[in-house]
Amino acid sequence: MSNSNFDTYQLSHELLKAIRLLNFNSPTQVQEQVIPAVLSQKDIIIKSQTGSGKTAAFAIPICELVDWEQNKPQALVLTPTRELAVQAREDLFNIGRFKRLKVAAIYGKYSFQVQEKVLRQKTHVVVGTPGRLIDHLERGTLDPSHIRYLVIDEADEMLNMGFIEQIEAIIPRLPLERVTLLLSATMPQDIDVLCHNIMKDPLRVEIEEQNPATDRIAQERYHVNESDKIQLLEDLTRVENPDSCMIFCNTKQTVDEVYAELVKQNYSCEKLHGGMEQRDRLSVMQDFRHGLFRYLVATDVAARGLDIEDITLVINYDIPYDKESYIHRIGRTGRVNKLGKALTFVTENDVKFLNDIQDYIGKEIILKERPKAKTVLEAKQEFITKINTLPEIKESKGAQLSAEIMKIHVNAGKKTKMRPVDIVGTLCNIPGITAVDIGVINVLDVSTFFEILNNKGELVLQELQNTPIKGRLRKVSKADRQF
């Protein structure tokens, strides 16, 4: 963190308020370089790790610069995975909340029609994965004609996942007059070539990690036979007794097996892999982030870029075949300069992968003896006590921001010709309510959702019980869903 604060950038008070309620006291290093450059419309190549505050680095100036009046999308953010799309959408939504910005997340394995409806409404920023975005562009359901900002996030991961061609197919459809930002943890040559082709005289920002994950995280390994891994896992988790732990496996099948075994042993546990329904994946991630359970068994789907704080222990039940995956996996612990611990299981057949990883991180992963039966037994009671107590629930990032916002539902929508202006008109007639107290309004077919800001939700809710909207009294209630 630097000594300066966000007031030095000429940001609107709506943004400064959101930044304050998100508890961002001063800009991180990457934000200090990127925010002013984007505000002055520069193309930028950003080499920076996740955890550096890089999402807010582009989200803050983009939220500042987009024009609220314009109904068509003005910024497009490309991410390699659905989870990252959802996460970036949430960050942009939180930052743009008091400016009432609409941010859509568009990704595969989710209803095209629902997304089409969302895109038909006012949308300022679209975040999505390349494949589904191309579908929308091809079918004309995403209008790119007003895109002024393009962000390519986690570009090296896009390359690994074979998405570069898709990105190259998206770019010619966007206006030439635009600002382009590319973010990547590493800069392989293909990314450099891509940048050369799509950017104008880009600024290069490189943030060296000051205290890299590999130094911050205690790393140990255990030699084990394949058939003995489950027992070792149970022994080590009993001894370590972590508050929260991620267990990584290389295949969905192993995730299913390990998960089933831990459930049998009453672990507070969930699983995550690419074979699961999208909705389930997102809710598992959300619940883990909120600390509703302690153990998450996952494939690499969950390793990359996701911002989950305070994981105490990472276990590589299977050693990763790819050395970069090792860094991403262990990086789930020891976030933002905290200490963490990572244990890796190594079988006879894994020695080559172990050597690759050790060469890559430039040090040896310490070899440990498995815990003795007596030690495991001694740890048992404490372990059982912890497993039977609910974890501490963590506040979501936007919690403070949401505290003063109420979402309200009205049982009338487009089918009865309800329009945002009808809502605004009614609300502004309530004494004590002005336009600045009204947040995002979303008119659907038979319902309307809107936000009331500044702790005035209860007042509005009460008044609307007796105040007609568009000529009739409506059923008005507090909504618990996000929109």
CB 49 within 8 A of CB 270: no
For ligand AMP, the closer CB: 52 or 129: 52
Which are the contacts of 285, defined by CB distance < 8 A and separation ≥ 6?
83, 86, 272, 302, 306, 308
d(CA 193, CA 254): 38
For ligand AMP, the closer CB: 50 or 325: 50
Tell me which amino acid residue 446 is: V
CB 171 to ligand AMP: min, Å:
23
> DSSP labels for 47-74?
E--TTSSHHHHHHHHHHHHS-TT--S--
Structure tokens at 366: 């310490």
Residue 151's CB is within 10 A of a number of other CB atoms, namely 26
Sheet of 245-248, strand order: 269-272, 295-298, 245-248, 313-316, 340-346, 217-223, 366-367
d(CA 273, CA 352): 26
Residue 293's CB is within 10 A of a number of other CB atoms, namely 16
CB 310 to ligand AMP: min, Å:
11
d(CA 198, CA 172): 9
Residue 390's CB is within 10 A of a number of other CB atoms, namely 10
CB 452 to ligand AMP: min, Å:
25
CB 23 to ligand AMP: min, Å:
6
d(CA 103, CA 124): 6
For ligand AMP, the closer CB: 127 or 142: 127
CB 56 within 8 A of CB 194: no
For ligand AMP, the closer CB: 149 or 345: 149
Helices within 212-322 (DSSP H only): 213-216, 229-240, 252-264, 278-289
CB 306 to ligand AMP: min, Å:
8
d(CA 56, CA 449): 27
CB 219 to ligand AMP: min, Å:
22
Catalog residues that contact ligand AMP under the rule CB under 6 A: 24, 27-28, 31, 50-56, 307, 397
CB 127 to ligand AMP: min, Å:
13
CB 24 to ligand AMP: min, Å:
4
CA 281 to each of CA 159, 278, 286, 288: distance values in angstroms, whole numbers, following the listed order: 23, 5, 9, 11
CB 242 to ligand AMP: min, Å:
21
Best CA proximity match to 343, nearest among 311, 388, 374, 306:
311
CB 45 within 8 A of CB 200: no
For ligand AMP, the closer CB: 22 or 423: 22
For ligand AMP, the closer CB: 56 or 410: 56
Residue 471's CB is within 10 A of a number of other CB atoms, namely 7
CB 79 to ligand AMP: min, Å:
11
> DSSP labels for 321-368?
SSHHHHHHHHTTBS-TT--EEEEEEE-GGGHHHHHHHHHHHTSPPEE-
CB 156 to ligand AMP: min, Å:
15
For ligand AMP, the closer CB: 209 or 324: 209
For ligand AMP, the closer CB: 183 or 282: 183
For ligand AMP, the closer CB: 154 or 318: 154
Structure tokens at 315: 């276990």
CB 346 within 8 A of CB 319: yes
For ligand AMP, the closer CB: 24 or 222: 24
For ligand AMP, the closer CB: 48 or 241: 48
CB 60 to ligand AMP: min, Å:
9
CB 77 to ligand AMP: min, Å:
12
For ligand AMP, the closer CB: 51 or 413: 51
CA 59 to each of CA 95, 127, 170, 245: distance values in angstroms, whole numbers, following the listed order: 7, 11, 21, 30
CB 299 within 8 A of CB 255: yes
For ligand AMP, the closer CB: 13 or 196: 13
Best CA proximity match to 252, nearest among 281, 272, 280:
272
